[in-house]
């Protein structure tokens, strides 16, 4: 009986934890239900609106020095995740909450775009004798660019209130994602051609 209860607990625990993180995909559409932080609320007594999108670019690899030396493609080690438990929308009404969800979708897509730029530069920069921390300045560069671009569109669209402008910006991002299609998480980029002197 104890083993059955443990198995049931593990099933529900794994199911619950698996729901807290969404990996980016072109078919993933965010809704207000994805903002699972306890701070999320719609309340007309609020004095202002707030959003924390929950989208993050992560780079995680564990390998021996030998494996690292001969690894060129790090695409699978870079992910764009939406952490539901960290995502917050605090809005004065449902209409405001909905346009903020649209902005969060834009931000999720933007994060994937910069993940692809990061994967591309890792691929182009990595050599056989590259230091294992070679990625740090590249990661910092793209995190900074991502933050700057997110802030620009946040201000430009008033956190998504201007729907037409937000949709225009999102289409630009999706187009750029498509142009970097060989740098998706599961893709294998074409081999770089060596310059002949």
pLDDT in tens, 17-55: 445 899 999 999 999 999 999 999 999 999 999 999 999
Chain segment 74-119, per-residue pLDDT in tens: 999 999 999 999 999 999 999 999 999 999 999 999 999 999 999 9
* Position 82 in a domain: yes
Residue 138 binned pLDDT confidence (cut-offs 50, 70, 90): very high
Name the residue with higher pLDDT: 136 or 5: 136
- Does residue 74 belong to any structural domain of this protein? yes
Question: Is 161 contained in some domain?
Answer: yes
Q: Which runs of consecutive H residues, i.e. helices, occur in 19-84? A: 65-69
Give me the domain span that covers residue 59. Answer: 19-183
Q: What is the pLDDT of residue 20?
A: 86
Q: Measuring CA to CA, which residue among 117, 129, 93, 120 is closest to residue 173?
A: 117
Count up the domains in the chain and report the number.
1
Task: Establish if 115 belongs to a structural domain.
Answer: yes
The answer as to whether 13 is a domain residue is no
| 48, part of any domain | yes
How far apart are the C-alpha atoms of 163 and 102, rounded to whole Å? 8
**Predicted confidence (pLDDT) per residue in 108-125, tens digit:** 999 999 999 999 999 999
Is 65 in a helix, a strand, or coil? Answer: helix
Of the candidates 55, 45, 161, which has an alpha carbon nearest to the alpha carbon of residue 93?
45
User: Over the stretch 148-192, which tens digit does the pLDDT of each residue have?
Assistant: 999 999 999 999 999 999 999 999 999 999 999 999 999 999 886
Model pLDDT, residue 69: 82
Domain for residue 111, yes or no?
Answer: yes
Q: Establish if 37 belongs to a structural domain.
A: yes
């Amino acid at each position: 009986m104890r083993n059955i209860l443990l198995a049931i607990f593990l099933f529900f625990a794994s199911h619950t934890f698996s729901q807290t993180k969404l990996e980016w995909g072109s078919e993933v559409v965010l809704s207000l239900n994805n903002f699972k932080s306890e701070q999320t609320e719609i309340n007309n007594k609020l004095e202002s609106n707030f959003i924390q999108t929950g989208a993050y670019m992560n780079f995680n690899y564990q390998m021996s020095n030998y494996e690292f030396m001969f690894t060129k493609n790090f695409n699978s080690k870079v992910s764009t995740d939406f952490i539901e438990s960290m995502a917050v929308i605090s809005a004065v009404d449902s209409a405001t909450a909905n346009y903020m969800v649209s902005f969060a979708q834009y931000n999720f897509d933007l994060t994937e775009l910069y993940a692809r730029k990061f994967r591309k530069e890792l691929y182009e920069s990595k050599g056989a004798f590259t230091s294992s921390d070679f990625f740090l300045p590249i990661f910092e560069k793209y995190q900074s660019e991502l933050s700057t671009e997110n802030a620009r569109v946040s201000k430009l669209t008033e956190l998504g209130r201007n729907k037409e402008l937000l949709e225009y910006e999102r289409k630009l991002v999706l187009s750029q994602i498509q142009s970097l299609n060989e740098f998706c998480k599961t893709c294998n980029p074409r081999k770089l051609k060596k310059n002949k002197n």
